[in-house]
Amino acid sequence: MPDFYREPERQQFHFSCRRGWLNDPNGLCFYRGICHLFYQHNPGGVVWGPMHWGHATSRDLLHWEEQEIALFPDEHGTIFSGGAVVDLMNVSGLGTVENPPLLFFYTAAGTPFTQNLAVSLDGGRTLVRYAGNPVVPNLYGDEERDPSVAFDPEAGKWRMALYLGDRSQEFALLESTNLLDWRETDRFPIEGGRECPELLRLKDRRTGGYRWVLLEANGRYLVGGIERGRFLRENAGIFMLRPGDRAGYAGQTFKNQPDGRCLYIAWQQDIIRGDRFSQSMTLPVELRLEGGELRVFPAAELEHLRGECRSGSDVRSLPLEGELFELDFQLPETEIILNLGGCYVAFDLAGGELRCNARKYPLPSDARHWRAWLDRNTLELFEGEGRCYFALPLDRRAQGVVSVSGAGELRQLSAWRLHATLPAAEQGGVPAGR
C-alpha cells in the first residue's frame, strides 16, 4: 500500500490530492449518483505551477476517490478554471438526449487567453476537447478567464459569466442558445471583486421569487435580475469572510444537484506544509437566498461524520483530546474571546463586532448561536443563521480544542468527535475520530 495520506499535516475530512498542488475547484457537477470535483492541479510540485485539471469523485460529498488527471496543458496553454453544464436536452448536439453530454468550459491560458470546451460522453470519466475551440475568443486583450455557465429559463438562453482580467477587473455576461456560439451582452465591476465568477439562479426563500446571484473569488456577491442580457443589481454583500491572506477562496457550486440545494466548495488557501502535497478544499456548504441576502450553512451530509458527543452548560471549556471535532455553542451577552484550535476569535455582540486575525467584521447583535469544524489544521466557523462564515488554516494543534480566553463563559457547548473520511489504511496512523 503506498503511503499516500500518511503525512502528519494531512487533513482528515477535507479533500486534498495525493501528490502535488491543488487550488480552485472546477467543473463541479452531479451526474447519475456521482458528484464530480475537478480542480486546478500541479502534479509536479507543491507550489502553483503548470495547471492541469485534477479529478475526484464521491457519492456523499465526504468520501472522495481521486481519479486520473482530466485535462493536460497543450499548445493552446495551461488549463485554468471553469465550470460544468449537464446538457440534458443536448442543445449542443454533442451527445444525445438518452446520453446527454457533460460540457466543461475552461480557460486555455496561452497567448492569448481563450475560453474553451471539453466534452464527456461517459459520465465525466474522460474529457475530450471540442474540435471547434475556442468557443469564446479573447475579447479585450487581457487574461480573460474562469467561465461559469447557467441556464436562463425566462429567456430560453444560456448565460456565461466571465472575468475580463486584472487590467479592468470587470466581469462580462455572454449568452448562447446552443452552448457553442456566444455573444457578449454586458460588462460591469464588482467592488473588491476579482476572478472566478460563479453565476447562479436561486429561489428566494422569503419572497418565493427567483433571482440571479453572481459570486466572485473573495466571497463577495451581487443579487439581481437579468433583462436583455444585462445584470440589474438589487443587492450586494459578502457571504464568505477572509480573515487574513489565507482563507476560503474561488469557490464554485455543484451543477445538476438532484435535490435542488445549492452546494458550494472553495479552495482552502494554506501554507505549504510538506514536500509531497499542498492545499485542500473547504467542507461542502449550502447557499440559500433569504430576502435578497445570501446565507451559508454547513451541508447536512456533515452530520454523518459525528461520533461521541460531550456537552455542558455555563462552561469555559470541555476536557477534550483529539484533532477532529464539530462544535456547537451559545455565546453570552457579554464580550467573549474563544480559543478555537489555536485561533483566537473575539465576539462582541453588544458592540456588533467579530475580531479575528487582526481584522474586524460587523456582527448582528443576536448572533449567539455558532457552529465550528476543526480538522488537523483547519477551522470553519458558521453563525447559526448563516450570516457569517469563514474557513482558514491553523497551525497544527498539539492540544486544546475550545476554551474561553479571559473572562466569561459559554452558555452552552456541545462537541462531537468526528470520523476521518480517508481509507482506514491511509489515515496517517490516526484512528478515525481522533
What single DSSP character describes residue 101? P
What is the spatial distance between Cα 417 and Cα 182, in angstroms, rounded to a whole number?
A: 50
What the block records as the C-alpha cell of 386 is 448563516
SS3 269: coil
Instruction: Retrieve residue 401's grid coordinates.
Output: 480544542
Best CA proximity match to 224, nearest among 190, 178, 252, 261: 190
- CA atoms of 146 and 197, how far apart (whole Å): 7
The answer to whether 315 and 409 have CB atoms below 8 angstroms apart is: yes
Q: CB–CB of 322/308 below 8 Å?
A: no
How are strands ordered across the β-sheet holding 220-227? Answer: 198-203, 210-215, 220-227, 230-238
d(CA 318, CA 292): 39
Q: How many C-beta neighbours within 10 Å does residue 197 have?
A: 27
Nearest to 171 by CA among 192, 151, 148, 197: 197
Measured distance CA(167)–CA(185) in Å, rounded: 20
Q: Is 189 exposed, middle or buried (0-12, 13-18, 19+ CB in 10 A)?
A: exposed
**Beta-ladder partners of 79:** 108
Burial of 312 (0-12, 13-18, 19+ CB in 10 A): middle
**Alpha-carbon dihedral 39, 83, 392, 423, rounded to 10 degrees:** -40
Q: How far apart are CA 350 and CA 331, in angstroms?
A: 12
Q: How many other C-beta atoms can be found within 10 angstroms of the C-beta atom of residue 2?
A: 9
Rg value, the chain, Cα: 22
H helices present in 32-140, as ranges: none
Q: Which of 3, 24, 245, 275 is catalytic?
A: 24
Distance from C-alpha of 224 to C-alpha of 258, rounded to nearest angstrom: 25
| Beta pairing partners, 58 | 35
- Is 24 one of the annotated active-site residues of the chain? yes
Residues belonging to the active site: 24
